[in-house]
């Protein structure tokens, strides 16, 4: 299993599905080799896990950890300027 951090997984702009998938992988909910075809329903339908992942991405964006843009395709990336108070 290839586990990556969210920071690594979102180093470039990534659409919502990809960002939610990267978050699920970083949390250990999915593996990096999970089939996106089999998992797509989590991100594209009313699904408790998909909703939770969306809410977490929103919170991370509100706290300045992630950057968000709605064009061209609701995308997220790690905010390279983010510094925690512990750093």
For the segment 33-74, what is each residue's pLDDT rounded down to a tens digit? Answer: 998 888 999 998 999 999 999 999 999 999 999 999 998 889
Q: How confident is the model at residue 1 (pLDDT cuts 50, 70, 90)?
A: very low
Residue 79: pLDDT over 70: yes
* CATH architecture entry for 6-78: Orthogonal Bundle (1.10)
Mean pLDDT of the chain: 91
Please state, in angstroms and rounded to a whole number, the distance separating the CA atoms of residues 68 and 34. Answer: 25
Q: How many CB atoms lie within 10 A of CB 62?
A: 10
Global pTM value:
0.88
Share of the chain above pLDDT 70, in %: 97
Instruction: Give the domain ranges of the chain.
Output: 6-78
């Amino acid at each position: 299993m290839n586990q990556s951090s969210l920071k690594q997984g979102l180093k470039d702009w990534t659409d919502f599905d990809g960002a939610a998938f990267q978050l699920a992988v970083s949390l250990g909910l999915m593996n990096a080799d999970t089939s996106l075809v089999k998992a797509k329903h989590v991100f594209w339908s009313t699904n408790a896990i998909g909703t939770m992942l969306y809410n977490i991405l929103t919170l991370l964006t509100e706290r300045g950890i992630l950057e968000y843009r709605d064009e061209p395709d609701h995308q997220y990336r790690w905010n390279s300027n983010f510094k925690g108070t512990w750093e």
